[in-house]
């Protein structure tokens, strides 16, 4: 299959499994796919070559008429989630085809994208890791951010670490390794932690690693 390895899924949670040496490995289980090919995007019309995958069927009453027509053109049932994945070539892919976890194998390195857990309004100690002030009774600044900078500009510079909304942002973790693939149960087990809450939507891809540029060294005698 010419598809750049990618799939959508739901995070099931974390546990631990044992590898061939008997060592306990922390893993995250993901129910990934099966995803359905909805549309093929071409460089001529869309500006890039990609495939649009759909995940999780939804009732037809939950989508509007233009969206129904989009799915009807592909000859598939309406899907709750859609995502585009880049392609090197478009051979062997047609609307209606299924993509399962079988495209991955144990040992593959993948990148996982999801929306991180929302933490609400947080102070600088929790949000940015500030150490805080003295804990003595006379201290008036236990967990405050203290100075905001110089007074001459009469404003706070953009990017200053301040209290505010924490989490609920798109996060990508790269370099996670596939530990197990259970195609029968649509399960993908990854080593390590995956962003987002249990039940959260995740996007799993195998990015193309570009070769490093070689620098020629000139030896002067």
Structure tokens at 85: 């994945």
Rounded distance, CA 123 to CA 102, Å? 44
Cα torsion for 184, 190, 194, 198, to the nearest 10°? 30
Per the CB < 8 A criterion, the answer to whether 104 and 111 are in contact is no
Count the helices and strands in the chain (H runs, E runs).
3, 12
According to the model, what pLDDT value does residue 89 have?
A: 60
Which residue positions in the chain have pLDDT lower than 50?
Answer: 1-2
Q: How would you classify residue 149: left for phi > 0, otherwise alpha for psi between -120 and 50, otherwise beta?
A: left
3-state secondary structure of 163: coil
Straight-line distance from the first to the last Cα atom of the chain, in angstroms, rounded to the nearest whole number: 52
Rounded distance, CA 11 to CA 196, Å? 8
According to the model, what pLDDT value does residue 88 have?
A: 62
According to the model, what pLDDT value does residue 211 have?
A: 63
Q: Phi then psi for 127, rounded to 5 degrees?
A: -80, -40
Task: From residue 144, give the alpha-carbon distance in Å to each of 130, 150, 165.
Answer: 9, 17, 16
According to the model, what pLDDT value does residue 2 have?
A: 46
May I ask the CATH class of domain 6-205?
mainly beta
According to the model, what pLDDT value does residue 220 have?
A: 67
Domain residue spans in the chain? 6-205
According to the model, what pLDDT value does residue 109 have?
A: 93
Per the CB < 8 A criterion, the answer to whether 53 and 94 are in contact is no
According to the model, what pLDDT value does residue 91 have?
A: 55
* Nearest CA among 4, 25, 5 for reference residue 14: 25
């Amino acid at each position: 299959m010419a598809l750049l390895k990618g799939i959508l899924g739901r995070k099931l949670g974390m546990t631990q499994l044992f590898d061939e040496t008997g060592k306990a490995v922390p893993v995250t289980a993901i129910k990934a796919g099966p995803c359905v090919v909805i549309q093929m995007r071409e460089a001529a019309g869309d500006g890039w070559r990609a495939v649009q995958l759909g995940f999780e069927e939804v009732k037809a009453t939950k989508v509007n008429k233009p969206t129904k027509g989009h799915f009807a053109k592909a000859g598939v049932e309406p899907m709750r989630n859609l995502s585009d994945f880049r392609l090197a070539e478009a051979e062997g892919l047609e609307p209606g085809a299924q993509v399962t976890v079988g495209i991955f194998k144990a040992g593959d390195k993948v990148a996982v994208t999801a929306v991180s857990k929302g933490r609400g309004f947080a102070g600088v100690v929790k949000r940015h890791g500030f150490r805080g002030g003295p804990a003595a009774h006379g201290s008036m600044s236990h967990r405050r951010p203290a100075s905001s900078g110089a007074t001459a500009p009469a404003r706070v510079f953009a990017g200053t670490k301040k209290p505010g909304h924490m989490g609920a942002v798109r996060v990508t973790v790269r370099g996670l390794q596939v530990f197990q693939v259970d195609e029968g149960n649509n399960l993908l087990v990854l080593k390590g932690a995956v962003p987002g809450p249990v039940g959260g939507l995740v996007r799993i891809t195998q990015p193309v690693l570009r070769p490093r540029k070689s620098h020629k060294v000139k030896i002067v005698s």
